[in-house]
Amino acid sequence: MASYMLVNCSNCRTPLQLPAGAKAIRCALCHAVTHIAEPRNVPPSPYSNGAPPANPLQYSPSVPSAHGSKRALIVGISYKYSRYQLKGCINDAKCMKFLLMNKFQFPESSILMLTEEERDPLRLPTKQNMRMAMFWLVQGCKSGDSLVFHYSGHGSQQRDYTGEEVDGYDETLCPVDFETQGMLVDNELNATLVRPLPRGVKLHCIIDACHSGTALDLPFLCKFNSYGQFAWEDHRPRSGAWKGTSGGDAYSFSGCDDGQTSADTSALSKVTSTGAMTYCFIQAIEHGHKTYGSVLNGMRQAIRNANTSSGGIGGGGVTTLIGMLLTGGSVAGGLTQEPQLTSANLFDINMPFTL
């Protein structure tokens, strides 16, 4: 693992990862340059031993006042010019930003975009930049704040050796440089985004990726029976590890179950490629679904309708790394994916949905 240290931006106090030996670093958020007179005196990064910090907020004491009570991190990765290339993920990011600004009144200044189209190298969706951006999203949050994390890109799995996962696998997200820097594992996503949330703060995650059902490691998974009734499945680790918040609420809509894949397709929009899950989520909101349960059912029904009307969600590919590696490109054809809803706390899914 590369050696680096963690320092706070001299202007906005965002934690920045300083490569060993570097004497200055520029913040991707406020663009201020922080000079380090004696790098050896800077405390080491909490990730220097490969493990996430117990409480990321202790490294993030404040947040720029301009961000207000609503802020969002949107990540869209196309893996351009690689064998894993996807077509719809940056479209997803742009559509999600439009939805947040126009439907839920998120100020543009409170939305941080990480895509390969960004000119600032510190806003490219690398593993390091994604980590820094996730810190930014939750740092200094307080009661009444609404946070959103949207990710569209590859998702995968890796063997879990801790005994926490019932199926034996951790779920992962794949930064643009995952082949050299590794993937972001659900344990780290939970520790960074979920556990620090104080009472009164709401976090909504929209994860459009393969194997994303429990990508945030939230304790409870919503299941429906054949009569449309819902029940919560307990996914708390058998080890007793705490995967909840510090009093806040965290919800995650994801593209599919842990064992399923998600589509990158033009079959839904009929115009251009999008992630099936992101497209259906936005459509559910636009069509007036107003509760958590109806949003989830609206998404699932849209995917079923697309499969029925077109003989399968074609016109694109499956965002699975293994499938693309084996075929050398996209995987076309039908697809069955069931969007999932997980939560840090048990709640009535007929509760009004808002961001």
C-alpha span between 8 and 153 (Å, rounded):
29
Reduced DSSP (H G I as helix, E B as strand, rest coil) percent helix, strand, coil of the chain, to 5: 25, 25, 50
193 by DSSP, 3-state: which? Answer: helix
Contacts for 306 with CB less than 8 Å, ≥ 6 apart: 267, 268, 276, 313
Backbone angles phi, psi at 126, to 5 degrees: -80, 165
DSSP symbol at 32: P
Looking at the annotation, which residues are catalytic?
154, 210
Residue 181 has a CB neighbour count (10 Å cut-off) of 14
For residue 312, give the nearest of 295, 330, 287, 337 by alpha carbon. 337
Q: From residue 83, give the alpha-carbon distance in Å to each of 125, 179, 324.
A: 17, 12, 7
What is the DSSP pairing of strand 33-35 with strand 24-26?
antiparallel
Per-residue three-class SS string for 57-119: HHHCCCCCHHHCCEEEEEEECCCCCCCCCCCCHHHHHHHHHHHHHHHCCCCHHHEEEEECCCC
Say if CB 79 and CB 87 are below 8 A apart.
no
C-alpha span between 14 and 300 (Å, rounded):
38
C-alpha span between 292 and 162 (Å, rounded):
32
The widest CA-to-CA distance across the chain, in whole angstroms, is 65
